[in-house]
A and B are shown apart, each in its own frame.
Chain A
Amino acid sequence: MFEALSDRFEGIFGRLRNRGRLTEGDIDEVLREIRVALLEADVNLRVVRSFQDRVREALVGEELSRALNPAQQVIKTVHQELVNTLGGETMRITFASRPPTVVLMAGLQGSGKTTTSAKLARWFKSQGRNPLLVAADLQRPAAVEQLRTLARQIDIPVFSAPDEVIRSGTGDPVEVARQCVAEALRLGRDVVIIDTAGRLGIDAELMAQVGQISEVSQPHYTFLVVDAMTGQDAVNVAEAFHATLSLDGVVLTKLDGDARGGAALSVKEVVGKPIAFASTGEKLADFDLFHPDRLAGRILGMGDVLTLIEKAEQVYEQSEAQDAAQALLEGRFTLEDFLQQMQQLKKMGPLSGILGMMPGVPKEVRDAQIDDGHLARIEAIIRSMTTAERTDPAMIDASRRGRIAKGSGTNPQEVQGLVSQFNEMQRLMKRFGGFGSKRTKGSRKDRKNDQKKAKGTSRGGGRVTTKGVVAVPKINLEELAEKEMAKRPGGGLKLPGLNL
């Protein structure tokens, strides 16, 4: 649905190849595309304008190197500017010299305050602190119960109004906030996290109430919880809360969806305070300090390599992955391995989602609607094969084909199609595998021998080696991609995330 900024730039830079510098006109055109990309990512219009101005300044007079793709250079500039705007660095939380450190959470209804409070408490706990959660949301039915349930999972106490008061619905959150610090001292807790009820920025009465809560609890940190899916209104919300509470930072939630999260940029710009934390999943552990550079890439639609890597790491063992990649590139890859890889991939969510996170995937591939149902068919076919057939697909004759087709509910043609595609793929991979050393070492045969010897030594390509492990996958990954992309119009695989 959204076009990556790099795709948009292709057209502009297509006719620019021979010039080394951007003209005014080029820059205007570039800025227009940036504007659309940012607006589609829900960055506030006002913020887009000031951002455009800054990018213009950075671009005017910039010398474009001929060796590099000009689109890439401009994107790099834009990306850097975005990172700067988003805060450059991750926030450092300090603790009050006289505990407890009080943290106040505020935000709109449904932005995720209660869950975030619990996540934050868990985070503090993992830092060796002893947090106390304070349920000052006495408005929403069962909000206190929700916080208690979450707190039980992480074994953290919850302080709130007495039960009968909560049930009667007459509890005063200001009173709870007034008492919570004393309670923390009594329990020997050094961090207090106050969860407040959701409220609209334009609701004067409730805003006054949260102001009072802040006054009586004197928080060291006041965080605004913002949903990553928020649209243009994020600015108004942030302004309203900042005016009442003078925020110290922002917590961005629901980043695990596919929202581009432009609201973060808007809020940062308006409040001028960093985005402290980001919540990236439903589990309480899916929460960490915020990394501006990752979000910058995401806002620009450049993919989110680091998140992808982390996601992949949850599924793959690194050594396992290395072995599999090696096997694949050496052509030792069987249908059995392929099946395994497919299943790991599936664990990472729908293929289109993975593709979306992958930067520089050519548009043709990204748009080639990959149907996850197709995966199931492939899986069925492979599962209907015997182990021997999976290792050596060449043995599959007409009779075996018929049996496999029956077993998998497909037809012999499909089985044949899969086998021949697999053979084709294997040949391709072998070629890619050999490609890496060709430049430096000549023939493929040399390389084979070379590789046997290569265990533990650095090879001619001079790429990263850590502790004697030859980083073959990296070398071949890039070159593989290069070669693959060279065959496509508008080629050039970009991995901006990895160049950071």
Chain B
Amino acid sequence: MQLAVIALLAVLVLGLVAAGAVVVRHRRKLAVAAPRRPVRPERPITAATQMAQPGSVLSPSAPAEVFPPSAAGPESSDRVEFAVEAFEPVVAPPPSFRDRLSKARAAIAGPFRAILVRPSIDGQTWEELEEALIKADVGVELTRELLDTLRQRAKVAAITEPEALLQALKDELKARLAGADRSLCFEAGTPNVWLFVGVNGVGKTTTVGKVGFHQAQQGRSVLMAAGDTFRAAAAEQLQAWAERAGTDFVRGAEGGDPSSVVFDSVQRAAARGIDLVLADTAGRLHTKSNLMDELAKVRRVAAKEPGRLSEVLLVLDAVTGQNGLVQAQQFTEATELTGVVLTKLDGSAKGGIVLAIEARLGIPVKLVGLGEGINDLVGFDPDEFVDALFD
């Protein structure tokens, strides 16, 4: 059967190339675009060659460049003292989830005012509930499921007031989100590795920078590993964060092998007694099998002794729609995700897709990004998140 399918595919593809080329050529003539002259595209390894700093070697196994922290890094001898000091609240407590969200939400009128003013529950109430969930990117399927449950609940509990109905929906959502472990896993002794993965442009590098800053604040010695060797200037971006947070930093050659950067980072962390390695990775679309394979390799390397891979976090932009679920699925297949970081929740997007991700794949949201400030990355609070969905 499989062979037949593959053969069929081969024939179809071949046929399409042969037959379709005619169509495409014809269409191209029509299009305003100049003929596509594919400059043999490639990942910019050549660019890396020009870019490479003097002294750095380009072979993948070349030792990564290492930057000690700009401030005098905590040596292993005075680590305890450092830790004790740092547990004092150094910065003002981060703003609450709700403060942040309400600022954003004020900008758009919530769809729920309308529901609450109506005296009784009618067809329109249900429609508006559905609308609110869909507009929050919860997705058609889960929305239906939630509303079916809610209908039963309303019947059983004899709910007649729209406000009570809304409350029941919130309770249902909160109950679904309750119970998941949302703490970031850390085990003292060996260098812990937290790996950050995701598609392009979701904010991985920024997240690594902020997490590193907070962990350093909490007294852990941190090393940031610039595993994004592909995007131009990604390492510089992370280096800026590392300098700001006063953490250790390791980078490789641009276009080099990300696994080797992670490997070197873990080695260095072990040698220097560093607690936590935060590994950034290049953004990649989950449909690119070669890049997903590369990521699986990074994961394997990160999990090797003496490192201890304790978190694999999917960074997800709150603006993402239904594709977020597919992303989570593909990334967890490649790297066994342990959690989700939901970024850019301070915009008008509500990030409802994480509900679908938790419901379908059981991957908990652990952190949310509520702004550009260094303190705006906070722990995920399900109750406040649910309330914000319906603000």
Contacts and interface: CB of A to CB of B under 8 A. Distances in A.
- A and B assemble together: yes
Interface of A: 1-2, 36, 39-42, 44-45, 90-93, 108-112, 126-127, 140-143, 145-150, 152-153, 200-202, 227, 229-234, 236-237, 240, 254, 256-260, 262-263, 281-286, 288-289, 291, 305-306, 308-310, 312-314, 316, 318, 321-322, 324-325, 328-329, 338, 341-342, 345, 348-351, 353-355, 358, 365, 368, 370-372, 374-375, 378, 418, 421-422, 424-425, 428-429, 464, 466, 471, 473-474, 476-477, 480-481, 484, 498, 500
A274 B284 CA distance: 28
B12 A233 contact: no
Given A254-B285, A257-B287, A305 B10 contact: no
B60 interface: no
B201 A227 contact: yes
Given A232-B135, A365-B5, 6 more contacts: A142-B240, A145-B236, A285-B39, A321-B14, A375-B6, A481-B12
A353 B330 CA distance: 12
B108 interface: yes
Interface stretch (B17-25, B187-195, B217-225, B273-281): B17-25
Given A341-B10, A464-B22, A141 B353 contact: no
Contact of A42 (B50, B203, B289, B323): B323
Given A149-B47, A258-B287, A341-B10, A110 B317 contact: yes
Given A202-B347, A237-B348, A321-B17, A351 B9 contact: yes
29 contacts: A40-B140, A42-B322, A90-B31, A91-B32, A141-B237, A153-B44, A153-B47, A200-B348, A202-B107, A229-B327, A232-B349, A233-B347, A237-B319, A288-B33, A313-B21, A316-B13, A321-B17, A322-B14, A324-B14, A328-B14, A348-B13, A353-B287, A354-B13, A374-B2, A466-B22, A473-B18, A474-B18, A477-B15, A484-B8
B3 A378 contact: yes
B121 interface: no
A232 B136 contact: yes
Contacts of B44: 149, 153
B139 interface: yes
A310 B17 CA distance: 8
Nearest to A337: B10
A318 B326 contact: no
Given A110-B201, A153-B47, A476-B15, A201 B319 contact: no
B131 to A, nearest CB: 6
A464 B50 CA distance: 50
Instruction: Among B27, B33, B104, find the residue whose CB has the most chain A CB atoms closer than 10 A.
Output: B33
Interface in B136-156: 136-137, 139-140
A345 B6 contact: yes
B16 A236 contact: no
